[in-house]
Amino acid sequence: MSFKIIFLLNCRLHCFLHFKSDGFLCIDIEILQTIEIENLPRALRRYAKQVDELNLIRIKEIFAKNFKNIRALVALLILAISIYFYTILAVKQETFLEEIDQEVAEEMDTKTSKK
Pairwise CA distance, residues 100 & 54, whole Å: 70
E strand segments, 54-104: none
Alpha carbon of residue 99 to chain centroid? 48
pLDDT digits (tens), the chain, 115 positions:
333 333 444 444 444 555 556 655 555 556 556 777 788 888 888 888 888 899 899 999 999 999 999 999 999 999 999 999 999 888 776 666 777 778 888 888 887 777 6
Cα Dmax for the chain = 111
- Domain range annotation of the chain: 1-27+40-114
Q: State the burial class of residue 75 (Cβ atoms within 10 Å of its Cβ: 0-12, 13-18, 19+).
A: exposed
Q: Model pTM greater than 0.75?
A: no
DSSP-H helix ranges across the chain: 2-10, 42-93, 96-114
> 8 burial class (0-12, 13-18, 19+ CB within 10 angstroms)?
middle
